[in-house]
Chain A
Amino acid sequence: MATIVFPNEHSPVEDAESLHKSFEGWGTDEKSIITILGHRNTYQRQQIRKAYEELFQEDLVKRLEKEIHGEFERAVYRWILEPADRDAVLAHVVIKEGKNYHVIAEIATVLSPEELLAVRRAYLFRYKHSLEEDVAATTSGHLRQLLVGLVTSYRYVGEEINARLAQSEAEILHEAIKEKKGREEEAIRILTTRSKTQLLATFNRYREAHEASIYEKLEDETSDEFHKALYTTIRCLYDHIEYYEKVVHDAIKRTGADEDALTRVIVSRAEKDLRDIKELYYQRNSVHLEQAVAKKTSGDYKNFLLTLLGKED
């Protein structure tokens, strides 16, 4: 379930004008920005962008980049983009920085095949390269095989399961992940081409056969990018709510909160299943996510995140 609160009726023109007003004069009225943008869904936000462009002959996004700063600006910038565009930008950041490749694995596995396709198109449009091209050019070895396989996947969506295949592929995954018999390539092919339903069946067979979930041993081996990406892939395929809860938990636990991860999860899931992630967080930590976020962050950034988490002002 989503956490974002938005009105059923809104006037993009009024919103655009209010935003423009908040930029006027010295300083910026951040509260206004949060109140408006934090309470609009994807469709409404794109309407506001269009209206703003028509009214003021200026790109709202570019104006925002000038008016606000820091973590707040990063969060708002990501929020105001369309989901596919947002993920394309996130992927590009990973490629440019050469680290956190598990984020690409996250995007590629959590999204549906059609959503992933939209991200690839958005990436092409923005960067004039294909996503797989850039991922391949900046990675090598198993990491490359896994990531290119993931971003180019176009999985069959359906309920068909082949039980015999689930059995044999569970064994291949076992060999690859636990015993490391050089079966990584086969494991990668399985994880990047099978449908999600088939993979869940495979994971279930694994658990039946080995009395432990497939990702359990992997957690210890998150030393290099490949294993981290592999862990992320399997975790997201298994249950992405649990995965996101862990990301958020870890992000908050760190002494200097990992704002990047926190922003990413909250902005990307606010319109999807942030409520489920919140509930799980409460179950696991006996503290509400909003409280934890309020404690660890500050200022406009904090207020924006809380708004997306569903706080009504």
Chain B
Amino acid sequence: MALPEEVEALNKAFSGHGIDEKSLVSILGKWKPENRMAFRKGTPHLFIEDERQFEKWDDRRVRLLKHEFMRFKNAVVLWAMHPWERDARLAKEALKKGPHAYGLLVEIACTRTSEELLGARKAYHSLFDRSLEEDIVSLVDGVERKLLLALVSAYRYEGSKVKHETAKSEAQALSAAIKAAHEKPILEDEEVIRMLATRSKPHLQAVNKHYKELYGKNLDEDLAELRLKETVQCLCSAVAYFIQVLDAALRFDADKNTKKALTRVIVTRADTDMKQIMDEYQLLYGDSLTQKIEDTTNGNFKDFLLTLIARSG
């Protein structure tokens, strides 16, 4: 008979992010047929009793398992990729998935440096024989199109020089646009899009600061549209944004798409602001990110992620 601890270990091996390959080898590998049958009978969330007296794998579960096995491979492939190809492929994927995935376009356009974003556009030409801008125009249907097109076309100034009088008046203009949103949807407001898509990040951070001083709330709190919130968060406080994404991805009930964000964020930020993300994660949640990953991921995938974040030690 299979020991209960072994069954529990096996269940754990199959849950969370990634697969604990070693447990599968050491436990499952040595079980005799009667152990495996007992396992099947005792694990109804993986195996279904069929009317013809056998226990069959739950199809959906097998498909989900496939994703979990692939998590390590995907992480490795993404990590080895040139950052430009990475972002180009992520952008294409977001466009294919549709409106619920457009936040990824915002993330790429707003958290990368000007040169990195440019590189992504170049790689997009090579990979797909079209420009990213053209695809956004043809694939994005709704009100978000203007914003997304403008964001990916940006080549922002990256110095620290900021004109505070301009920042202040732009904060006021934003407030006016927000208040008038019921008459004129903000995503159609050319002024708002202009500011968000052309101003430098330090400038927008100053706008955010002035906005808070004048109106008592953060700019992203007052913006109702998700994409605008994300835009402002990514431009003004990328680290806080990534922490949110990681937190959602690490929950045990995260869905397939949300989970992918874990690989994406760690791979794309490991060489940039990972240390900051880890420090602020600790401050915010009291837990270390390392520990959280230790607890929720398995196997080679876990080891790979931990190695990546340890680089910023």
Interface, chain A (partner B; CB < 8 A): 117, 120-121, 124, 128-133, 136-137, 140-141, 144-145, 148-149, 152-158, 160, 189, 192-195
* Contact residues in A for B5 (Cβ distance below 8 Å): none
Would A157 and B194 be within 8 Å (CB), given that A117-B118, A193-B137 are in contact?
Answer: no
The 8 Å CB contact of B134, one of A120, A130, A137, A193, is A193
- On whether the beta carbons of A193 and B154 are closer than 8 Å, the reply is no
The 8 Å CB contact of B131, one of A137, A144, A148, A156, is A156
Pick out which of these stretches binds chain A: B20-28, B68-76, B81-89, B156-164.
B156-164
Q: How far is the CA of A225 from the CA of B225 in the complex (A)?
A: 34
Besides A133-B198, A195-B131, 9 other CB < 8 A contacts?
A121-B155, A129-B157, A141-B190, A144-B190, A145-B190, A148-B150, A153-B133, A154-B121, A193-B133
Instruction: Report if B153 contacts A (CB, 8 A).
Output: yes
- On whether the beta carbons of B134 and A124 are closer than 8 Å, the reply is no
* Contact residues in A for B149 (Cβ distance below 8 Å): 189, 193
Instruction: Report if B200 contacts A (CB, 8 A).
Output: yes
Q: List 14 A-B contacts (CB under 8 A).
A: A121-B155, A128-B157, A130-B200, A132-B153, A133-B200, A148-B150, A148-B194, A149-B153, A152-B150, A156-B129, A156-B131, A160-B130, A193-B134, A194-B134
- On whether the beta carbons of B133 and A120 are closer than 8 Å, the reply is no
Q: How far is the CA of A121 from the CA of B118 in the complex (A)?
A: 12
Instruction: Report if B199 contacts A (CB, 8 A).
Output: yes
- On whether the beta carbons of A132 and B125 are closer than 8 Å, the reply is no
Would A160 and B129 be within 8 Å (CB), given that A128-B161, A148-B198 are in contact?
Answer: yes
Highest count of chain A CB atoms <10 Å: which of B118, B149, B157, B200: B157
Distance in Å: Cβ of B138 to nearest Cβ of chain A = 9
The 8 Å CB contact of B154, one of A129, A130, A145, A189, is A130
* Contact residues in A for B130 (Cβ distance below 8 Å): 156, 160
| B interface, size bucket | 20 to 34
Contact with A along B150-185 (1 / 0, CB 8 A): 100111111101000000000000000000000000
- On whether the beta carbons of A130 and B157 are closer than 8 Å, the reply is yes
Q: How far is the CA of A223 from the CA of B131 in the complex (A)?
A: 33
- On whether the beta carbons of B159 and A128 are closer than 8 Å, the reply is yes
Interface, chain B (partner A; CB < 8 A): 118, 121-122, 125, 129-131, 133-134, 137, 149-150, 153-159, 161, 190, 194, 197-200
- On whether the beta carbons of A155 and B131 are closer than 8 Å, the reply is yes
Smallest CB-CB separation from A127: which chain B residue? B157
Q: How far is the CA of A157 from the CA of B134 in the complex (A)?
A: 13
Q: How far is the CA of A213 from the CA of B118 in the complex (A)?
A: 34
- On whether the beta carbons of A153 and B199 are closer than 8 Å, the reply is no
* Contact residues in A for B118 (Cβ distance below 8 Å): 117, 154
* Contact residues in A for B158 (Cβ distance below 8 Å): 124
Distance in Å: Cβ of B163 to nearest Cβ of chain A = 9
Highest count of chain A CB atoms <10 Å: which of B122, B134, B150, B161: B134
Q: How far is the CA of A189 from the CA of B138 in the complex (A)?
A: 10
Q: How far is the CA of A120 from the CA of B118 in the complex (A)?
A: 12
- On whether the beta carbons of A120 and B159 are closer than 8 Å, the reply is no
Q: How far is the CA of A192 from the CA of B137 in the complex (A)?
A: 11
Distance in Å: Cβ of B183 to nearest Cβ of chain A = 19
Q: How far is the CA of A136 from the CA of B153 in the complex (A)?
A: 13
* Contact residues in B for A124 (Cβ distance below 8 Å): 155, 157-158
- On whether the beta carbons of A136 and B131 are closer than 8 Å, the reply is no
Smallest CB-CB separation from B131: which chain A residue? A156
- On whether the beta carbons of B129 and A120 are closer than 8 Å, the reply is no
Q: How far is the CA of A130 from the CA of B159 in the complex (A)?
A: 10
Q: How far is the CA of A120 from the CA of B156 in the complex (A)?
A: 10
Distance in Å: Cβ of B128 to nearest Cβ of chain A = 9
- On whether the beta carbons of B137 and A189 are closer than 8 Å, the reply is yes
- On whether the beta carbons of B133 and A132 are closer than 8 Å, the reply is no
* Contact residues in B for A117 (Cβ distance below 8 Å): 118, 155
- On whether the beta carbons of B154 and A132 are closer than 8 Å, the reply is yes
- On whether the beta carbons of A130 and B156 are closer than 8 Å, the reply is yes
- On whether the beta carbons of B131 and A193 are closer than 8 Å, the reply is yes
Distance in Å: Cβ of A46 to nearest Cβ of chain B = 23
Distance in Å: Cβ of A147 to nearest Cβ of chain B = 11
Smallest CB-CB separation from A135: which chain B residue? B198
Q: How far is the CA of A133 from the CA of B121 in the complex (A)?
A: 19
- On whether the beta carbons of A133 and B157 are closer than 8 Å, the reply is yes
- On whether the beta carbons of B131 and A152 are closer than 8 Å, the reply is no
* Contact residues in B for A156 (Cβ distance below 8 Å): 125, 129-131, 134
